[in-house]
């Protein structure tokens, strides 16, 4: 990425795929990849409707990476990173970026891996989405007149983290419900202790 911002729409082969970092959830419960979030929880954290979530999953825009729906009665499970992508998609849609460009951006982000994602800024002029990994790249893009809207992915990452910390998750290995740290949800905490 030295040399300035570049359009993210290049092929996935142009980018090094890096493995995500696996932080530990407070209290040592489990790594982030071991927790899934059901549809309503993902919607609440990303600020989208269930109808949007369902449509985006069915069309392949953002599919649940933990567990897809296998038919009637099964629940999709979204990873933390999936929820971050959902919120990024929502932000781009709200600013009028074309769905085709959003789809390319999501494919690019999945292909490049998620390491350093929270230090990235995604810029768009409405027609193209650019990935910037340093403040200098953002400035260079703005000076060139290309960027008119930016998403600081780290801010989205922290927003989603704060929202999910107050909502319920599910351990992928055991199916155990992990109760969020929501002071208003005393009943759920009591149920979890009793069960």
Distance in angstroms (rounded) separating the CA atoms of residues 33 and 36: 8
Q: How confident is the model at residue 182 (pLDDT cuts 50, 70, 90)?
A: low
Q: Is there a contact between 132 and 161 (Cβ–Cβ < 8 Å)?
A: no
Give the mean pLDDT of 38-52: 96
Q: How confident is the model at residue 41 (pLDDT cuts 50, 70, 90)?
A: very high
Query: CA nearest 118: which of 153, 89, 150?
Result: 153
| Residues contacting 180, CB < 8 A, separation 6+ | 164, 165, 166, 167, 168, 169
| pLDDT digits 0-9 by tens, 121-158 | 898 887 888 888 888 988 888 887 766 788 999 999 99
Distance in angstroms (rounded) separating the CA atoms of residues 109 and 128: 15
* pLDDT at position 85: 95
Give the mean pLDDT of 98-106: 90
Give the mean pLDDT of 43-65: 95
* pLDDT at position 125: 82
| pLDDT digits 0-9 by tens, 55-91 | 999 999 999 999 887 777 678 999 999 999 999 999 9
Domains with residue ranges and CATH for the chain: 28-113+154-194 (1.10.1660.10)
Percent of the chain at pLDDT > 90 equals: 37
* pLDDT at position 92: 93
Percent of the chain at pLDDT > 70 equals: 74
* pLDDT at position 192: 60
Bigger pLDDT: 104 vs 191: 104
How many of the other CB atoms lie within 10 Å of CB of 23? 11
Distance in angstroms (rounded) separating the CA atoms of residues 37 and 12: 27
Whether pTM > 0.85 for this model: the answer is no
Please classify residue 6 by burial: count the beta carbons closer than 10 Å to its beta carbon, then call 0-12 exposed, 13-18 middle and 19+ buried: middle
Edge-to-edge strands, sheet with 149-152: 6-7, 129-132, 121-124, 149-152
* pLDDT at position 179: 84
- 172: pLDDT strictly greater than 50: yes
Residue whose tokens read 């490049």: 112
């Amino acid at each position: 990425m030295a040399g300035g911002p570049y359009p993210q729409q290049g092929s996935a082969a142009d980018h090094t795929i890096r493995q995500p970092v696996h932080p530990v959830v407070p209290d040592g419960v489990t790594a982030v990849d071991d927790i899934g979030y059901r549809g309503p929880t993902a919607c609440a954290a990303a600020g989208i409707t269930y109808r949007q979530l369902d449509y985006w999953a069915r069309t392949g825009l953002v599919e649940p990476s933990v567990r897809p729906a296998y038919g009637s009665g099964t629940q999709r499970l979204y990873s933390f990173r999936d929820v971050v992508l959902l919120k990024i998609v929502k932000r781009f849609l709200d600013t009028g970026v074309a769905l085709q460009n959003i789809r390319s951006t999501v494919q690019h982000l999945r292909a490049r891996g998620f390491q350093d994602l929270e230090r990235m800024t995604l810029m768009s002029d409405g027609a193209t989405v650019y990935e910037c990994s340093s403040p200098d790249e953002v400035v260079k893009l703005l000076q060139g007149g290309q960027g008119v809207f930016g998403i600081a992915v780290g801010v989205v990452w922290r927003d989603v983290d704060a929202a999910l910390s107050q909502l319920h998750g599910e351990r992928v290995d055991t199916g155990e419900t992990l109760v969020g740290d929501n002071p208003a949800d005393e009943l759920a905490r009591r149920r979890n202790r009793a069960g």
